[in-house]
Amino acid sequence: MYQVLYDIALRLGLGIILAAGMLVLIAILQTIFYNSTKQIHLVIIGILIALIIYALGDIALDVLGI
């Protein structure tokens, strides 16, 4: 049980670090490519959704023990 909680906490912590990095990346890209911010946001949102789906699936596999 503690290992599952540890894995979930580790993934959440890494997710927060990744999210902070993505915010910095968005700020840099918006500064460089000011006219195409909508496309930048769509790409970043797509990447984040894919990472969330991957993390939830990984956590589900750990909880189910498959």
SS3 15: helix
SS3 49: helix
- The pLDDT value recorded for residue 66 is 62
Quick check: 65 pLDDT over 80? no
Average pLDDT over residues 18-33: 83
Cα 59 to its chain centre, rounded Å, is 14
**Residue 15: both structure tokens together:** 């997710």
Per-residue model confidence as pLDDT tens digits over 8-17: 788 788 888 8
Token pair 């503690």 in the structure block, residue:
2
